[in-house]
Structure 1
Amino acid sequence: MRICILGAGALGCALGGVLTEAGNEVWLINRNADPVEAMNRRGLILRDGGVDRTVAVHAATTAAPVGVVELVIVLVKSFHTRAAMSAATSLIGEGTAVLSLQNGLGHEDILAEIVGRDRVLAGKTYAGGSQLAPGHVLIGTRGKDTHIGELDGVVSERVQRIAQVFNAAGLETFVSDNIMGTMWDKLLINVATGALTGITRLSYGELYQQPELETCGVAAVAEAIAVAKASGIRLSNTDPREAWLKAGAGLPYEFKTSMLQSLEKGSVTEIDFVNGSVVRWGAKCGVPTPVNQTLVACIKGLECGLIQSPAR
C-alpha cells in the first residue's frame, strides 16, 4: 500500500518504520528539516528491545514530492490538524482514505471539512514512540493494539484492508463498529498519564513508582468515565485503574509520553484535546471534573512558562 504519514514525529516514525519493513511504500512528512535530512541520508533508526536497526525510508518536509497515496495517516499535533491537512491536499486522489490516529477528540470533524467526510476514518493506537535523536526512535509497538473504523460504524472493505496491512506489519489492529467508544477508550489512557508526566517530568517507569501519582491518575480517569457514561458513550472499560495500568503496560522504563516530549521540546501540548475534552464534555452533561481541571491548569501554567522563557 502507498501510505503517507502526515506528522512523522516519534510515533509516526515508529509506525512508518514497521509498515515500510512489511513492504509498503511509506512517506514520512515532518516539517522539521533535521530528522528528514537524517532519515534520507542514513535511514530511520528504530530501537526495539534495546537493539537498533536501520530502515530505508522516504522522508520530506512537505507533501509536494509525494504525489497521490492510498492512505494518509494523520499524526500531527491536534492544534496543527487544519493547517497540515490543508497544505497536503495533493496527497488526495479518487480512492484516498484519511485516517486520524491523533490523541484526543475532534480531529475527524476538522479533516472532514477539508477532504470530505466520506474519506475520513477514525482510530486510536496504543503503540508509542520516543525520539532519541533526529531520525532515531525508541519504538513501543509490540503488544500494543490499534483500533480503526468508519465514522458511521460500518465495517467497510477499505477499513478491513487497512487493518490487514497493519496486522501484516506486526501492528495488532482491530476494526471497530463503535468508533466514538473506541476514541473514548484511548482518551482514558491519555488522561491517566499524559498530564501527570508533563507536570512531574517523569518517564513511565518513574511515574509508576509513585503511589500518590497513581491515585491522581486513577481519579482523573474516573471523572472521564463518568462523563462518557453521562454522554451516552459505550466504553469497553469502566474500571479507572485498568486504564491506568494499560497506559504503561509493556513500555520501556525510560519511555516518555507525547505530552512530556512536547514540553521538553519547548512546545505547547495537546492538553485541550485530552484532559480539556473531559472538562468540556463534563460541563455539557453536568458532571464535575475537578481533577482534570487542575491538571489542565497546571499544564497551561507550564506552557505559559515556556512562552515567557523559551527553551534553549
Structure 2
Amino acid sequence: MNTSSIIAPRIVIAGAGALGSALGGTLAAHGADVWLVTRNAAHCAAIAAKGLALVSPDGEIVARPNVTQSCRTIAGQPVDMIIVLCKSADTADVARDALAVAGADTVIVSFQNGLGQEVLLSEIFGAQRVIGGKTYAGGVMLAPGIVQATVAGKRSIIGEIAGGLSPRCLDLARQLSAHGVPCEASDNMSGAIWDKLLINVATGALTALTRMTYGEIYADRDLARAAFAAVAEAMNVAEAKGIALSIRTPEEAWAMAGANLPEDFRTSMLQTLEKGRRSEIDFINGAVVRAGEALGVETPVNRLLAACIHGVENSAAFTTIDCPSGERQ
C-alpha cells in the first residue's frame, strides 16, 4: 500500500486493557498519534516511564503511545477516532469520559466483544458519530507495561451500522491498515458483528469455565463438540433475525477463533475472571439467549454456559479474589 498520502490519525483507545494496548501500541509503533486511556494505574505508570512492550511471535518491540487515566486530562484536543475497548459493563462511564476529546467530526467505534454497545454509544455521542466495528486481534496483559500482542495478520472490520460503504469508513480503514492494524470497511456490518459473536461464543465461556489456554481447549474434542453446539444455536438465531453471515458452519467459527493465536493464549473472558472482575457473558452467550427468546429460537447450551459463568461470578471464592491495583472498573 502507498502510504505517502495518508496522514497519521489521532486516535484515543478508551479502555486500554490488554487488547486496547495491543492495538494502540501497534498503531503508535507505526506512526499514529495514539492516546491510551486506562484506569489501571500501574499499567499507566509503566508505559509513561518505559514505553509499552509488545511481545509477539516476531519478537518484542517498545512502542511509545501517550497514556493517561482519563480523557479529561487532554480535554479540548479533539481526535479523529475513539476506539472503545473497555469491558461492556463499563461502556457508559468510559464513553462519558471520552466526550472530552470528541469533536464534531470524531468517529466512535466499538471493538468490544458481544452485542449492543453501539446503541449505548449512540445515546452518548449521537448516532451520526458512531460506526460499527469488530476485531480479531488478540492481547494478553503479561505485566504492567508489557502486552502479548497478536495483531499482524488479524482482521479488523468497520462499517456503517445501517449498512452500505461510506467514505469515512473507507478512509479510516485505510488509515488503520497503513499504521499496522489490518482493517477493511464492510457494507454488511450487522453480519460482521454476528460473525465475531460466533467466535466469542465458540471459546469465551468454555475457556473461562475450564481455565484452559487455547492449546489445551483445542486438544479436547468433547469441548469442541460443546462449542459447535453453542455456535449452532447462535447461527440459528442469526438466521431467524435475517442476518447474512459469512461463517457457514460451527466448525468454521471454531477454526477461525484459534487461527494464528499461540497455544498459551487466554481469552478475554478468562483473563477477566482471573482478575476477579465480572465478565461480558451477558453481551455474548447471554445476548444469544435474549435474542433467541425474542424470536422463539431455543438456545439451551448458551443458557447453560451463561448460567455457569454467573455461578462462578457469584461464588464466595470469586468475590474474595484480590485484584491488582487499578484493575477493578
TM-score grouping bracket, smaller chain normalisation: over 0.9
Q: Aligned partners of 1:108, 1:212: CA distance in 2, in Å?
A: 35
* Partner AA of 1:73 in structure 2: I
Q: Aligned partners of 2:229, 2:145: CA distance in 1, in Å?
A: 37
**Secondary structure class of the residue paired with 1:96:** strand
CA contact (8 A) 2:72 2:97 kept: no
Give RMSD over aligned pairs: 1.1
Which moved further from structure 2: 44-53 or 187-196?
Answer: 44-53
Unaligned runs of 5+ in 2: 1-8, 324-329
Match of residue 49, structure 1, among 47, 57, 68: 57
Q: Aligned partners of 2:24, 2:287: CA distance in 1, in Å?
A: 28
Shift of 1:199: 0.0
Match of residue 40, structure 1, among 42, 45, 48: 48
Q: Aligned partners of 1:231, 1:158: CA distance in 2, in Å?
A: 28
Q: Aligned partners of 2:78, 2:299: CA distance in 1, in Å?
A: 44
Q: Aligned partners of 1:105, 1:41: CA distance in 2, in Å?
A: 36
Q: Aligned partners of 1:311, 1:55: CA distance in 2, in Å?
A: 30
Aligned counterparts, 1:289-300, within 5 A:
289-300=299-310
* Partner AA of 1:194 in structure 2: G
Corresponding residue of 2:162? 152
**Secondary structure class of the residue paired with 2:104:** coil
Q: Aligned partners of 2:233, 2:36: CA distance in 1, in Å?
A: 37
Total equivalences in the alignment: 312
- Off by >3 Å, runs of 4+ in structure 1: none
Aligned counterparts, 1:87-126, within 5 A:
87-126=97-136
Q: Aligned partners of 2:212, 2:179: CA distance in 1, in Å?
A: 31
Q: Aligned partners of 2:78, 2:58: CA distance in 1, in Å?
A: 36
* Partner AA of 1:60 in structure 2: T
Match of residue 58, structure 1, among 41, 52, 66: 66
**Secondary structure class of the residue paired with 1:99:** strand
Alignment of 1:188 with 2:159, yes or no, is: no
**Secondary structure class of the residue paired with 2:12:** strand
Q: Aligned partners of 1:268, 1:208: CA distance in 2, in Å?
A: 25
CA contact (8 A) 2:135 2:156 kept: yes
Corresponding residue of 1:3? 11
Unaligned runs of 5+ in 1: none
Alignment of 1:80 with 2:90, yes or no, is: yes
* Partner AA of 1:19 in structure 2: L
Q: Aligned partners of 1:283, 1:23: CA distance in 2, in Å?
A: 46
Shift of 1:310: 2.8
* Partner AA of 2:230 in structure 1: A
TM-score (norm 1): 0.98
**Secondary structure class of the residue paired with 1:13:** helix
**Secondary structure class of the residue paired with 1:94:** strand
Which moved further from structure 2: 248-257 or 57-66?
Answer: 57-66
Q: Aligned partners of 2:203, 2:222: CA distance in 1, in Å?
A: 13
Shift of 1:50: 5.8
* Partner AA of 1:311 in structure 2: D
Corresponding residue of 1:246? 256
Corresponding residue of 1:135? 145
Corresponding residue of 1:235? 245
CA contact (8 A) 2:276 2:319 kept: no
Corresponding residue of 2:176? 166
* Partner AA of 1:310 in structure 2: I
- Structure 1 residues 57-98: Cα deviation after superposition (integer angstroms, max 9, x where no partner): 211100022231110000011111111111221111121110
- Structure 1 residues 264-312: Cα deviation after superposition (integer angstroms, max 9, x where no partner): 1010000000000110001011111110011001100111125543336
CA contact (8 A) 2:174 2:184 kept: no
TM-score (norm 2): 0.93
Q: Aligned partners of 1:308, 1:15: CA distance in 2, in Å?
A: 31
Q: Aligned partners of 2:322, 2:304: CA distance in 1, in Å?
A: 24
Alignment of 1:19 with 2:27, yes or no, is: yes
- Structure 1 residues 172-215: Cα deviation after superposition (integer angstroms, max 9, x where no partner): 21111111111000000000000000000011111101111100
- Percent identity between matched residues is 48
Q: Aligned partners of 1:14, 1:107: CA distance in 2, in Å?
A: 21
